[in-house]
Amino acid sequence: NVVNEAKHFAVIAPNMAKQIVALQAALEDLAKKFPGAFTTYKMACRESHQKTKADTSGTAKAVIDSLKQLTDDDFTYDDIEMIRDEQGAIDFGVPEEALNGHAFHRYTLTSADGTTQFALEHNVAGRT
């Protein structure tokens, strides 16, 4: 309400990096223009952050909100695979030097018969 009442433009997003904001806006547009385009596809999400991050990635939640409009999968935030241990992060592709500060995300949409998969990744190694 504060933003609306002030009559100023503002971007409110879980991640304010302009590239992530642009990606989220593009996914929202895709979901509006092509709802159900991935009907029958199963969604999955893996995300890794430093071990001190206790909660689920807000960026992952926002991306999933758009992807859910493309599929009829009953995927929920509880289905997000959160990686918070160092070995799991390394196995997921996080460089050792970035273990104390990183944000790696991978989303997949897989056809019911498993023959087709679409994947989206965005990864930040370190604190930028």
Distances (CA, A) of 24 to 15, 55, 92, 111: 10, 20, 23, 23
**73 close to 44: Cβ distance less than 8 angstroms:** no
53 is catalytic: yes
Please name every residue paired with 102 in a beta bridge, in sequence order, or none if there are none.
125
Cα angle 85, 88, 90 (rounded to 5 degrees) comes to 110
Name the catalytic one among 7, 18, 51, 53: 53
**DSSP E strands: which ranges in the chain?**
42-49, 81-83, 102-110, 117-125
Name the catalytic one among 8, 32, 33, 49: 49
49 is catalytic: yes
Could you give the residue numbers annotated as active site?
A: 49, 53
